[in-house]
Structure 1
Amino acid sequence: MSTHIETVTHASSAAESFAEEWQEWHTAHERQRAHPHGFLAVTHLHWLDSNPTRLEGAPGTWNVEADVVRVVLEPGESLQQDGVELNGHSGKTLEFGPIEERGGINLASGDTVIEVAKRGGEYVVRPRNPSNALWREYQGTPAFAPNAAFGVAGTFVPFETPRPTTVGAAIEGIQHVYEAPGQIRFKLAGQELALTAFNGHAAGSLLVLFTDQTSGKTTYAANRSLSVVPAADGSVQLDFNRAVNLPCAYTDLATCPLPPAENRLPVAIEAGEKIPYERQDQK
C-alpha cells in the first residue's frame, strides 16, 4: 500500500511540475507576443515598388530599386534608427538595404516603429503602433491544458544535403524558400510519423511548421510551429504542448509561411495553442 501511495504521489508531483513549467513558458511567450511594438501592433502592410509612394502610418515617400529602399522626408517629418536622427535636412533621400530574405530593420517615428523587411523576394513596410486595436484589446491566447502524453521522443535524421524547400504563404501570391536540413521521426498515437524541419532562428535549433487533425477545428487552420533543439546524437524532444501560433493566426497583415505538404499530420494533436479569440468566428 505504501509503495502504491508513493507511486501515485510521485506521478502527481511530476504532473504538477510539468504543468508549472509549461505555464511559466507560456506566460513568457505571451509577454513577448504582447510587446507594444510586436506584430499585434502592426497597423498596415505596404509592398514597395519603384514608384515613389506615400504610405499610411509612416512618414516620407517610399520606393525600392535594385535592392535599395529609398525614403524622402518632408519638412517636419522624422525617422530615427537606434536612437539616431536620420534626416539632417528635409528632402534628403535616405537609403536602406540590401536586406536579406526574412531579414529586416526597425525605424522609429514618434510612437511608431516602422519595420522594413524582405519577404518572398519583395520589400515590405509595416508600421507598428500600440494604438492598434488588435494590441489594445488582446486578451491572451487559449491553449490546451498541458498533457505530458504529447511530449514525445524523436530522432533527427539529416538529409545527405540540405534541401531548399518552397512553401506558400498566408498572403496569396508570394512564396518562401527555406533550407530543410532533415526530418524528425517520431511515434504518436500508435503511428510512425515524420516532419520536415527547417533551420531555426537560434544556432543549432530547428523549426517545424505543421498542421494536424485539429487544424481548422480547435487550432488555427493554416499552421502552427514548434521549435526544437536536437542533441549531438540526433535525439530530440518534441513537446507539442509548446506548439504556438504564428502571426497570421491573429492578423491578415502577416506573411507567414505555410507548412510543406508532408507536414500535414494524420493525427489530432490536442496540445499547444488553440485558435486565437480574435479568429474564433472565422473557423
Structure 2
Amino acid sequence: MTASVTTEFEQAWQQWRAEREEGLRAQHGWLSLTALHWLTDEAASYPELPGTWRADGDDVVADGVDGISRLTPVEGAPGIEVRDGARIVEVIRRTGNFALRVHDPAASELADFDGVPTYAPDRRWQIEGQFTAFAQPRTITTGAVVEGLEHHHNAVGTITFEIDGVAERLVAFGGTTGDLKVLFTDATSGKTTYPAARNLAIEAPAAGGRVVLDFNRAANLPCAFSDYATCPVAPKENRLSVAIAAGEQSPRRSGQA
C-alpha cells in the first residue's frame, strides 16, 4: 500500500512539473523576454521597436506604431499587448511608472531552456497546516526585484504548520476563487533556490481551515528566469529560518545577486 501511494504521489508531482515546464516554453512567456524599457515624458525610440514611446499622465503615447496611439495599462496588472510581427510589446504600469516589455519567440533563453532544476519529490514536504482568516482582508506591501517598485498583495489570513516539531507561520494571499498562495524565502534562498521569493499555490481550505502545503511544488517567480521581470520579494512575515529543501531550485545560480 505504501509503495502504491508513493508512486501516485511521485506521478502527480511529475505531471505538475511537466505542465509547469510546458507553460514556461510558451512562445510569448517569461523566457521570451528580451528587453524592459522604462518610459519618461520625453518621446524615445528603441532599436528593436517601431515608432516612439512616451508617458503622458495615466497613458502611454505611441507615435508611428500601426493601429495604436494611446494606451492605458492598469497598475500591477498584465500589460496591454501590441503586436510587432512575431514579437509582442507588452505595455505595463508598475508603481506609477510605465515600461515596454518585449517578448520574442526567438529569444535565446527560450531556445536554450532544458527544464528547471528541482529537489527530488519527498512526501516529508507535504505538510498539513491550519488556515485562519483575517476578520477583513488587508493589504501587504512588499518591495520588488527592481529598486523603487512596490507590490500590493491581498492578504486574507495566516497558515500555521510544523516542521520537525517547530511551529511556523506564513501570511497567505488570496483571490476570488478561494485558493491561496504564499510568497516565502527560507534558509536555502540565495544558495540553492532563488533569493527573492518562491511561490506556493495552495488549494482552498477544507472545512475547519485545513490546508496542505506541498512544498515539492514551490515554484520560481518569473524574475528567477529573466532580468526583465518586476517580481515582488517575500513579505517580512514569510521569511522562514528553516531550510525548505523542496521544490524548484534556482535556474541561474550565477545570477542570484
How many residue pairs end up in the alignment?
255
Paired residues of 1:182 and 1:196 also in contact (CA < 8 A)? yes
- Map 1:160-199 to 2 at 5 A: 160-199=135-174
The whole-number CA distance in structure 2 between the counterparts of 1:168 and 1:98 is: 21
> SS of the residue aligned with 2:81?
strand
Task: Give how far 1:98 is off.
Answer: 4.6
Change in CA separation of 1:121 and 1:227 when aligned onto 2, cut-off 3 Å: farther
Map of 2:37 onto structure 1: 46
Identity of aligned residues (%): 41
Shift of 1:41: 0.8
Equivalent-residue separation in structure 1 for 2:121 and 2:60 (angstroms): 45
Secondary structure of 1:184 counterpart: strand
C-alpha deviations, 1:184-211, integer Å up to 9, x for none?
A: 11112211111111224x6222221001
Secondary structure, aligned partner of 1:44? strand
Which one has a bigger Cα radius of gyration?
1
State the Cα deviation string for residues 65-105 of structure 1 (Å, max 9, x = none). Answer: 121111111xxx64xxxxxxx26xxxxxx111152432322
Assess if the C-alpha contact under 8 Å between 1:47 and 1:123 holds in 2: yes
Q: In the alignment, which residue of structure 2 is the partner of 1:222?
A: 196
Instruction: Tell me, yes or no, if the aligned pair for 1:209 and 1:263 is still in contact at 8 Å.
Output: yes
The alpha-carbon distance between structure 1 residues 151 and 140, as it changes in their structure 2 partners (threshold 3 A), is same
- The within-5 A match list for 1:23-172 is 23-73=14-64, 78=66, 86=67, 94-172=69-147
Q: What is the CA-CA distance between 1:107 and the residue it aligns to?
A: 1.6
Are the equivalent residues in 2 in contact too, given 1:198–1:207 (CA < 8 A)?
Answer: yes
SS of equivalent residue, structure 1 residue 43: strand
Partner of 1:3: none
Deviates more, 1:100-109 or 1:167-176: 100-109
1:7 aligns to what?
A: none
Question: Are 2:253 and 1:280 aligned?
Answer: yes
Q: Partners in 2 of 1:176 and 1:273 — Cα distance?
A: 23
Equivalence for 1:270: 245
Stretch of structure 1 that moved more, 241-250 or 49-58: 49-58
| Kept after mapping to 1: 8 A contact 2:78/2:92 | yes
Q: What is the aligned-residue RMSD (CA, Å)?
A: 1.6
Q: Distance in 1 between matches of 2:174 and 2:97?
A: 21
Tell me how far apart the structure 1 counterparts of residues 177 and 50 of structure 2 sit (CA, whole Å). 36
Q: Which amino acid aligns with 1:215?
A: S
Structure 2: which amino acid aligns with 1:119? R
Gap runs ≥5 in structure 2: none
TM-score, length-normalised on structure 2? 0.94
In structure 2, what is the equivalent of residue 210 of structure 1? 184
Alpha-carbon distance in 2 for matches of 1:142, 1:166: 30
- Which runs of structure 1 show a deviation greater than 3 angstroms over 4 or more consecutive aligned residues? none
Cα drift, residue 120 of structure 1 = 2.4
CA distance in 2, matches of 1:175, 1:269: 26
Answer whether contact 1:43 1:57 (CA < 8 A) is retained: no
- In 2, are the aligned partners of 1:57 and 1:127 still within 8 Å (CA)? no
Give 1:281's aligned amino acid: S
Amino acid at match of 1:157: T
The change in CA–CA distance for 1:104 and 1:282 in structure 2 (over 3 A counts) is closer
Give the TM-score of the pair, scaled to structure 1. 0.85
Please say if residues 179 and 205 of structure 2, whose CA atoms lie closer than 8 Å, have aligned partners that are also in contact. Answer: no
- The DSSP-based 3-state class of the residue aligned with 2:60 is strand
**Which moves more between the two structures, 237-246 or 182-191?**
182-191
The answer to whether the 8 Å contact 2:73/2:80 transfers is no
How far apart, CA to CA, are the structure 2 residues paired with 1:230 and 1:131?
38
CA deviation string 1:48-71 (max 9, x = no partner): 221111134321211121211111
Structure 1 residue 27, shift from structure 2 partner: 0.4
Counterpart code for 2:18: T
- Aligned partner of 1:258 in structure 2 is 233
